Amino acid sequence: MNYSYELKDLGWNEILNNCFEPFAEKGFEVGRISAQYRNQYKVLTTWGEIRALVSGKMRHNAACRSDFPTVGDWVVLEHCGDSNGENDAQECLIQGILPRKSKFARKTAGRTSEEQIVAANIDTVFLVSALNQDFNLRRIERYLTMAWDSGATPVIILSKLDLCTDVEEKIIQVRNIAPGVDILPLSSATGEGIEAIFSYLQQGHTIALLGSSGVGKSTLINVLLGEEKQATKEIREKDSRGRHTTTSRELFLLPQGGIIIDTPGMRELQLLGNEEGMAETFEDIYAYAQSCRFSDCRHEKEPGCAVQKAIAEGKLSPKRWESFKQLEKEVQYIARKINTQEQLAEKKKWKKISQQIKEHYRFKKQ
C-alpha cells in the first residue's frame, strides 16, 4: 500500500509555502526527497511515495552537482501519471528545488573543489562518535566545523556507551572542544541514554545522522524506528569497530514525530572554504588570538602571543592547536582554489559573450 503524507509531518512551513505559491498557481505539486538511487529519486508527497527524474530542462541548466536534488530537498514536481513499476508508484519530473534553509556539504573527493551536499533542510545534526577504541577528538572537531557551516545545530552523540569504562573522562574531553554543544552518551544495544534523544523528536523537525563508518548510526535508526529498517553488522573483535553497512542516504519519518536522515560513513571528510564553522568550533582559540599584543600575530614566537601563553599554561591543548592549524590551512587552500575557479569561469563566460556579440555584428554587416 502506498501511504500518503501530511506536509507538516515532512517539515513543511509557511516560508516554504510562500516560495511554492508561484509554482502551485501553474499546477505543479511539491514533495520531499527521501532517497536517491543513481538518477532516480524517491519522493514523499501528499498522494503517496513516488519515483521522480530530473527534467531535461533542469539538467541542462545545472552548472554543478549542488544544482541537483539531494536527500531532504523540497522539489517542484510535474505529475506524469501512474507507473506499472514496483508498488504501482507514480512517476513525476522534478522541475526545480525550493530554497534550502540549511545543507551539510563537503568537498568532493579528488582534486576538484566542487561541493557535494550530503543532506539538505536539516534542523539538527547528530554527530555520532563511538566511545570505544574508535574515539577520536580530532575527527569530532572536523565534523563539528562542518556542522556549524551547515546552518543546523550540532548535537554530539557518544555511542556504544556499554563498551566504555571511562565515560566521564571522555565526556569532559569532548566538552572541552565543544563548549555549549549538547553531548548525549548512549547505548543502542542496552537502551541506556536513548530517552535523551526524544526531546529532539518533534513534528516536522529534521535530524541528520553523521559520523564515520561503524559508529552505530544504523543501529540507532532501528531503535528509534522500532524495527530493523537499516542493515547492521557486528563489531570486529580485533579493533572494536563496527562495519560499514549504509551505502546511501535515506530519510525516515519517526513514530515519535520528526524526521531523521541516515547517511553512509564518510571515509574522506574534506572541508569547504568557509570560515564560519571554524569560528564556532574553535571559539576559544579565536578568543585567545584577540588578546595577542600584535594584530598580525602568527602565534609562533612573537612576544605577547596569547595563544602560545595559553598553551604554556595548560589552558589550550597543543593537539587542539595543531588540529586548528591543519583545518585552517585546509579551509584557506580550498577558498583560494574556489576563488580561482570562479574567476576562470567568469572569464570564460565573458569571452563567450564577446564572441557572440562579434558574430552578431559580423552577421549584420553581411
Q: Please, which pLDDT band fits residue 231 given cuts at 50, 70 and 90?
A: low
Q: Please, which pLDDT band fits residue 87 given cuts at 50, 70 and 90?
A: very low
Q: Who's near 166: CB < 8 A, 6+ residues apart?
A: none
Whether the predicted pLDDT of 273 surpasses 50: no
Separation between Cα atoms, residue 11 and residue 32, nearest integer Å = 9
Res 249: pLDDT: 86
DSSP string, 151-162: TSEEEEEEE-GG
Q: Please, which pLDDT band fits residue 284 given cuts at 50, 70 and 90?
A: confident
Res 189: pLDDT: 92
Whether the predicted pLDDT of 277 surpasses 70: no
Give the containing element (helix H, strand E) for 219. Answer: helix 217-225
Q: Please, which pLDDT band fits residue 50 given cuts at 50, 70 and 90?
A: very high
Give the containing element (helix H, strand E) for 113. Answer: none
Whether the predicted pLDDT of 38 surpasses 50: yes
Whether the predicted pLDDT of 241 surpasses 60: no
| Tens digit of each residue's pLDDT (9 = 90 or more) over 299-335 | 888 899 999 999 999 988 888 888 888 787 777 656 6
| Tens digit of each residue's pLDDT (9 = 90 or more) over 39-48 | 899 999 998 9
Give the containing element (helix H, strand E) for 36. Answer: strand 29-37
Whether the predicted pLDDT of 181 surpasses 80: yes
Q: Quick one: cell of 75?
A: 522539489
Separation between Cα atoms, residue 118 and residue 299, nearest integer Å = 35
- What percentage of the chain has pLDDT greater than the value 90? 45
Scanning the structure block, which residue is given the C-alpha cell 514496483?
A: 86
Q: Which of 165-169, 179-183, 296-300, 354-358 has the lowest mean pLDDT?
A: 354-358
Q: Which of 100-114, 172-186, 208-222, 280-294 has the lowest mean pLDDT?
A: 100-114
Query: Is residue 212 a contact partner of residue 266, using CB atoms and an 8 Å limit?
Result: yes
| Tens digit of each residue's pLDDT (9 = 90 or more) over 137-180 | 988 988 888 888 888 999 999 999 999 999 999 999 999 989 88
Query: Cα(first)–Cα(last) distance of the chain, in Å?
Result: 66
Q: Who's near 202: CB < 8 A, 6+ residues apart?
A: 257, 258
List the domains of the chain with CATH numbers. Answer: 7-97 (2.40.50.140), 103-262 (3.40.50.300)
Whether the predicted pLDDT of 123 surpasses 50: yes
Separation between Cα atoms, residue 306 and residue 316, nearest integer Å = 10
Whether the predicted pLDDT of 69 surpasses 90: yes
Query: Is residue 243 a contact partner of residue 32, using CB atoms and an 8 Å limit?
Result: no
Q: Between vectors from CA 320 to CA 318 and to CA 324, what angle results, nearest 5°? A: 115
Q: Which of 153-157, 276-280, 347-351 has the lowest mean pLDDT?
A: 347-351
- Strand 29-37 to 74-82 pairing: antiparallel
